[in-house]
Amino acid sequence: MSPRKPRKTVSGETSNPALTPNPEQLRVGDATATPPPPPAAPRVPPKPKRVPFGSYIDPELQKQLRVACAVDGIEIRDALDEALRMWLEGRDKD
């Protein structure tokens, strides 16, 4: 029979560093808490459902519409939607 190897002890030179306590790395209380999540961005209401719509317009009018939408930072379909609603409301008043 072969002789037994000496046991490893915490206080001995051959101790396992993974089992040795290290109180300097301990964090307690608020140091361990995760910071609260940032406030949620306000929800943007979903855009209304849209259906395809095609028509022919004067090329110069289309160019003016594109430029105006680009300057105002809106989509052409939003401008058309607003224009059609205004036109329909005007018809109801007459």
Q: Are residues 76 and 66 in contact, defined by beta-carbon separation less than 8 angstroms? A: yes
CA neighbor of 92 nearest in space, from 49, 84, 55: 84
Q: Are residues 51 and 45 in contact, defined by beta-carbon separation less than 8 angstroms? A: no
Please tell me whether the overall predicted TM-score, pTM, comes out greater than 0.75 for this model.
Answer: no
In a domain, 88, yes or no: yes
* Tens digit of each residue's pLDDT (9 = 90 or more) over 3-44: 777 766 655 555 566 666 666 666 666 656 677 778 888 887
CA distance linking residue 22 with residue 16, whole number of Å: 12
In a domain, 8, yes or no: no
* Tens digit of each residue's pLDDT (9 = 90 or more) over 49-69: 889 989 999 999 999 999 999
CA distance linking residue 94 with residue 86, whole number of Å: 13
In a domain, 34, yes or no: no
In a domain, 77, yes or no: yes
In a domain, 62, yes or no: yes
